[in-house]
Chain A
Amino acid sequence: MTRSGRALRIQSQARVPERPLTTGGSRKPRFMTIRAAPKKTYSSGVIFFIAPAVIVLLAVGIFPLLFAVWNSMHEFILSRARSYALHGQPFLWFQNYLGLVNDAGFRESLFRTFVFLLINLPVQLVLGLLIALLLHKVGHEWLKNICRVSLVIPLATTLAVVGLMGRLMFNSSFGVVNYAVATVISLFHSIGPLLQGHFQVLHGFWRHVVPSNMIDWLGNPNLAFATVSIMDCWQWTPFCALVLLSSLTLVPPEIEEAAKLETDRWWQVLWRVQLPFMLPGITAILILRTADILKMFDVVYTMTQGGPGNATDLISVYVQRVGFRQVDQGVASAQAIVLLIITIILSRVYIRYFYREI
């Protein structure tokens, strides 16, 4: 097992048996050293196969990005479009970017988004890992198949629908979550006498945590933040689980079996054998989920619109407000570019510190 890219390169220079190119001649394998990938020549027609993909990428990816950069350096308020048509859009250099430094709303939303990221990403990773390990265990194949399929359901659900579901489930008057809480409490009351003195202590503690059976999930700022987090975890933990499960299948069974013979401590096997194989998957999860959370809009918008107060006002909701409610496309583009830069920096950091290939 190697732990660095350099080691990896050295390993790739190992001597490998060369396949005989023709059926005739000596069948005895010869050995040669591979120093570089052999040069391949392509027919000139290959451009027609690649061009469509490149054109689509340019049209839907690169052009909008460049347009956003251009916008971010100009004044672009939609309601002034007629005046721009006559006099052109004023070029502002980096004024839109500098304005963000003094924009308390932007800073606060960005900070809130990082708090959201720091809470949700580890939770999703740990829960996803637990699910992946359970599914990786031998036995109960048909149950595992059902589980694997059901894991896809949250991922396939439209984001806005997840928000609307959350809004209904966590409704304080008729939501199913409060109904479940009330059921648990009534159950607790019915078995209370059996617990005797302990009941009072437990009941007091519960009442301290939840003063009323009707928990105000979406009206209380902290609980609203927690509720949005719960819905995000519900939707994206399965994604982590599936990625990690596929990483676990990369572990060669003989190594895993050997490790299990060496020790009966599962965390030793996890830490020393399975985890190294999962690092590329974990890095992918970190990059994708970070980007997703930085641009998380639909769920928050449909659940809370950033409220109550600004408890769930994540950065993308803020950017959308600036871009489409205050119709200031210039400033909104600058904010979006800043988010892109943050995502790229974080991705580099993840790759630098987490990415290892076995």
Chain B
Amino acid sequence: MSHFPPLSMRKFFCNFIFGVALLSASTQFAGAWSLEEAAKPYSGTEVSVIFLDRPGYNAIIKLLPDFEKRTGIKIKYQIVPYENTREKEELDFSSNGELTVALVDLVWIGEFAEAGWIVPFEEIKKKYPDIIDPNFDINDFIPLILNAFGTWQGKVYGPPFDNYSGLLYYNKDMLKEAGFDKPPETWDELINIYAPKLTKNGKYAFALQSRRGETQSCDSFMRFLWPWGGSLLDAKFHSNLGSPKSQEGLNFRQSLEKYMPQGIVDYDHNDAVNALAQGNVAMITEWSAFYSTLVDPKSSKIVDKLGVAPEPKGPDGRKPALGGFSLAVASQANDKQKAAAWLFIQWATGKEIGKQYVEAGGISGRQSTYKDPALLAKYPFIQPMLDSWQQGVPEYRPRFSEWSKLTDIIAEWGTKMMLNQVSVKQGSDEIGTRTETVLKDAGYYDGKKPLAQ
């Protein structure tokens, strides 16, 4: 080392130290993205959003003070019943109202995106690179729900926020008494083996919420198409209800009726959940969000007897009911509000609060949250829900804007079918003809609109 002059050695050493310091500073800088720093320019901005009176929203409300404290952004939320949410949002967006975040049910995404009411994630990323958390990782969301709830025609608009899957809830004691130590694996088993033994002494094997409205069209009618290989529309958007597989599914629903309480055609979600909670029926297929109601001793008599499993399989596989909401930035918001809105959405659906959100009663859409075995053990409905999300169909209900018309048609004729006012064939034909008229008027058959659902 003697050939190095002492001065240059010192210089080399200094440069080395400087280099290392710079490198560590730069890595520290890259990892130093913080919500507080990113939100500084937007402190004091108000974000306005609609919430529902459901566990997922109550959970985020519990965590909100922390966000507001850290960012200085004020979240103004109003709680609205689900039935009025769409009309309230549409009136607000069409009249340049005050909402800065859109709560988007999966069946509204086509309409909201086509109307230009919500901003795609890519645009936010491009316009506000500084507020995107490098840790946000959009690919961490469960692919099916990101695709179904937050994506329209290949563009992501918002991350999934309030997530549901259909599950089979059952009364373990009633099943045990009838000689079953596990829930039915298939619909066929349910109707042929379980149902006859469970329907006796004023108790029923199954309750299917079928009230006129979205309950009939989504929870009752569509549930009996996909697992049988049927569907509402074929590839060219003509009715597929007349196909043998769709008919098989719908006829199955009719035959299941004799194992359900009378008046099932007027059962809404709370009626079906209550029938199970009071021990009057042995099984229901309901949204994952009702788990908390069923394990609450105030509303349920079967807290210790509750079993949860994925929905039964049909001849074509599981394909359970799929529903949920994403959050997206509203186009009508001003630039500052848009950034603040995204910071809120990013935080509410982020990895950081995933576990807290679940603990507070919400359902995170992130795969990383559910890697914690303790969480899975504590909440028995999570594993069946994750299993269901592996096999669902994003277009379980078509997500184009015409769904709002189709759901009314299906709700009317679906209940008429169940009441035997029309046969399954007649009802399917009526729904088919009316559906095709709506889609024809919308321009799907003459190429004016792409065949996207």
Contacts and interface: CB of A to CB of B under 8 A. Distances in A.
Interface of A: 78-82, 171-173, 212, 214, 216-221, 224, 304-310, 313, 321, 324-327
Given A81-B93, A308-B419, A324 B412 contact: no
B212 A304 contact: yes
Given A79-B111, A309-B412, A173 B94 contact: no
6 contacts: A218-B266, A219-B262, A307-B211, A307-B212, A307-B412, A325-B404
Contacts of A219: 262-266
Interface of B: 86-87, 90-91, 93-95, 111, 114-117, 211-213, 216, 261-266, 271, 275, 280, 401, 404-405, 407-408, 411-412, 415-416, 418-419, 421
Contact of A82 (B86, B111, B115, B408): B115
B296 to A, nearest CB: 18
Nearest to B263: A219
Chain B interface mostly: helix
B402 to A, nearest CB: 9
Nearest to B112: A79
Contact of A173 (B90, B275, B408, B416): B275
Which 3 residue pairs across A and B have the least CB separation, nearest first? Answer: A219-B263, A307-B212, A81-B94
Contacts of A82: 115-117
Chain A interface mostly: loop
Contacts of B271: 171
Nearest to B409: A105
B404 A218 contact: no
Given A79-B114, A81-B95, A306 B212 contact: yes
Nearest to B111: A79
A305 to B, nearest CB: 5
Contacts of B262: 172, 212, 214, 216, 219
Contacts of A171: 271
Given A221-B421, A304-B266, A310-B412, A81 B211 contact: no
A73 to B, nearest CB: 19
B90 A321 contact: no
A219 B208 CA distance: 13
A81 B94 CA distance: 5
A146 B213 CA distance: 42
A79 B115 contact: yes
A221 B408 CA distance: 18
A326 B408 contact: yes
Given A78-B94, A219-B265, A321 B116 contact: no
B221 to A, nearest CB: 13
Contacts of B280: 173
A225 to B, nearest CB: 13
A309 B419 contact: yes
Contacts of B418: 308
Contacts of A172: 261-263
A29 to B, nearest CB: 66
A220 B415 CA distance: 11
Given A307-B415, A326-B405, A326-B408, A220 B263 contact: yes
A221 B416 CA distance: 9
* Among B117, B212, B275: residue with most chain A CB under 10 A: B212
B175 to A, nearest CB: 21
Nearest to A307: B212
Given A78-B94, A79-B94, A309-B412, 9 more contacts: A82-B115, A172-B261, A216-B262, A217-B263, A218-B263, A224-B266, A308-B212, A324-B87, A325-B408
Nearest to B331: A82
B168 to A, nearest CB: 22
A218 B266 CA distance: 6
Contact of B261 (A173, A220, A221, A309): A173
A326 B91 CA distance: 12
B90 A308 contact: no
A81 B116 CA distance: 10
B404 A326 contact: yes
Contacts of A307: 211-213, 216, 265-266, 411-412, 415
B23 to A, nearest CB: 50
A184 B212 CA distance: 32
A149 to B, nearest CB: 33
Contacts of B117: 82
B259 to A, nearest CB: 16
A171 B275 CA distance: 12
A327 B419 contact: no
Nearest to A171: B271
B85 to A, nearest CB: 11
A46 B412 CA distance: 56
* Among A78, A220, A313: residue with most chain B CB under 10 A: A78
B94 A308 contact: no
Contacts of B421: 221, 309
B443 to A, nearest CB: 13
Contacts of B94: 78-79, 81
Contact of B416 (A79, A81, A306, A309): A309
A175 to B, nearest CB: 10
